[in-house]
Amino acid sequence: MISAIVKKYELTAFFILAYAISWIIEIPLILSRHNIIGTVPLSLHYFTAYGPMLAALIVHSSASGSRGTIVLL
């Protein structure tokens, strides 16, 4: 069912996932900076750049299946 929705709205799914993955990594850094949680290494910030790449792989593999992902890679 989710793959049918992703196939219909690939671009929307990509943007939602890209923002979600990036912010899931970024939120602990923000909270740490404001002393809400303990210290988090600032080098974690560099991993937010991988959010769009991971989102593209997830959306592509969900929309085209494992064979399409193998061809992409």
In this prediction the pTM is 0.79
pLDDT in tens, 4-42: 888 888 899 999 999 999 999 899 888 988 888 888 888
73/55 Cα distance (integer angstroms)? 14
Where are the domains positioned within the chain? 2-72
Task: Find where tokens 């943007």 sit.
Answer: 15
65 CA to centre of own chain: 18
Show the 3-state SS of 45-71: HHHHHHHHHHHHHHHHHHHHHHHHHHH
